[in-house]
A and B are shown apart, each in its own frame.
Chain A
């Protein structure tokens, strides 16, 4: 069952990120895993507190965090990079990341494209 997005969210994303759209670091994609390093979440905004709560139980992917917060992934990345900066969470490369450097696969794709064009 798919949950309908609360699209008319009361708190708009520009307030959530303080008007920022660019994450302070460019280390996230949808499958990057994040986990909490601290249990205390005082002085954080409600969304960040919620991220900390979500990440207490283990690693979560950026996409999952975004879905739980009902926020766009790009907005979530801004929040997460703030939390990484303040040392509240750490990132882990996902399993998918490690397989990406398969030269063979890339070469095949390249060949395929050349054959097509």
Chain B
């Protein structure tokens, strides 16, 4: 009996021990699993912590820098796997929102700065224009050389002031302002010369008969003025700045040579980037003092379709700047019309019989418009004048009927006046009878 009992007890003990062992094993497995899980979670938290720290210490500061316009690369997330879980997506979203807000604030600040600057420069520009008118009137009224000397100096300074204002306004997205009639290329270059400080050093050598179409006059003047100013500024004060014209296959190049210092590779790269005019100008990044020349040329060149390069060395050691005007921007003024005192040029005022901009199209030479359509000519215009002034009468009439009697010679003024009035009358009649040719809209657009 005793034995039986002890046998049962042993059995029970063995069973209990077995069960205990089993439970221990299971517990151990569970423990192990728990430990694994905890360590995995710990690792996950560490990764998240690191990721967050990376976002705050590296990615956001880099983004701030890049928003401020520094060439910094913004790093990506440390752990790519996080991108698949909500945590990572939220971090990315934070980053995006930050960037968006920054971008928007920057754009808004940029726009408002540009708008303010533009409005201010517009004011300065119109004042400079008014002042120029006043100076011109004084130049006519006063005959004393001493007074004239002062006036010339003031005129020169005013022209530079006007150019500065114009350049700043253009940089802020404004138009160059000032409508002009088509002008001979040589006058365009000399007009640019009028607006720079060292105008006496500029030498224009060759002669050309090409003219610049009216809408491109002011932009080309501005661009050439900037190049001339650069050339004069970066060369010795006793060296000349030479301007030459080089006719090309489908346009005309204005070549500006200086005998100064050449640009280094870095400057050249910057110039090329700006002259291409592809990227928007950031007025906050023009440097101190602001270097606006190439930026504004780039803007104008891209907007009006000419090209400027400065990557050649001048034979005199300095920089050779080349402004290439494509044939679209060129026209030909009739020789006599060009040589004659230019008809008053209220460029934007259309006169009833012929709503053309004066001289914007060469009246004689092309019989085909820029759009490829045949140009209709007035049939009766050439008849009245038989003397040497005939050519001019025709040109003047084609350009602007109501400024006709600008006699080229002092002889036979009555006859010229009569011929002019007759032509005007005929023009009015034919203008009312037929539809005016609508080539202008296309070529001027």
Residues of A within 8 A of B (CB): 1, 3-15, 17-19, 21-23, 46, 50, 53-54, 57-58, 60, 64, 67-70, 72-75
Contact = CB atoms under 8 A, between A and B. Distances in A.
Contacts of B180: 10
Given A3-B406, A14-B199, A8 B341 contact: no
A72 B137 CA distance: 9
B403 interface: yes
A18 B194 CA distance: 10
By DSSP majority rule, is chain B's interface helix, strand, loop, or mixed? Answer: helix
21 contacts: A1-B403, A4-B346, A5-B140, A6-B344, A10-B183, A10-B188, A10-B191, A10-B217, A12-B155, A13-B139, A14-B155, A19-B200, A21-B146, A21-B148, A46-B184, A53-B339, A57-B410, A69-B341, A70-B341, A74-B139, A74-B145
Nearest 3 interchain pairs by C-beta:
A21-B149, A10-B191, A4-B344
Nearest to A22: B145
Contact of A12 (B156, B339, B340, B405): B156
B344 A3 contact: yes
Contacts of A8: 129, 132-133, 136, 178
Interface of B: 129, 132-133, 136-137, 139-140, 142-146, 148-149, 151-153, 155-156, 159, 178, 180, 183-184, 186-188, 190-191, 193-195, 199-200, 217, 221, 339-346, 402-406, 409-411
Contacts of B152: 13-14, 17, 19, 21
Nearest to A16: B190
Contacts of B342: 6, 70
B145 A15 contact: no
Contacts of B159: 12
Contacts of A5: 136, 140, 344
A46 B143 contact: no
A73 B140 CA distance: 7
B194 A11 contact: yes
Nearest to A8: B132
Contact of B155 (A3, A13, A53, A74): A13
A58 B343 CA distance: 23
Contacts of A50: 339
Nearest to A11: B190
Of the candidates B152, B339, B403, the one having the most CB atoms from chain A within 10 angstroms of its own CB is B152
Given A10-B191, A21-B148, A3 B142 contact: no
Of the candidates B136, B187, B217, the one having the most CB atoms from chain A within 10 angstroms of its own CB is B136
Given A12-B194, A14-B194, A68-B341, A74 B148 contact: yes
Contact of A72 (B140, B339, B343, B411): B140
Contacts of A12: 155-156, 159, 191, 194-195
B330 to A, nearest CB: 16
A74 B145 CA distance: 7
B343 A3 contact: yes
Contacts of A57: 409-411
Given A21-B149, A68-B341, A15 B194 contact: yes
Given A14-B155, A15-B199, A57-B411, A1 B405 contact: yes
A57 to B, nearest CB: 5
Given A8-B178, A10-B191, A12-B159, A72 B139 contact: yes
A46 B187 contact: yes
A10 to B, nearest CB: 4
Given A7-B133, A60-B410, A74-B142, A18 B339 contact: no
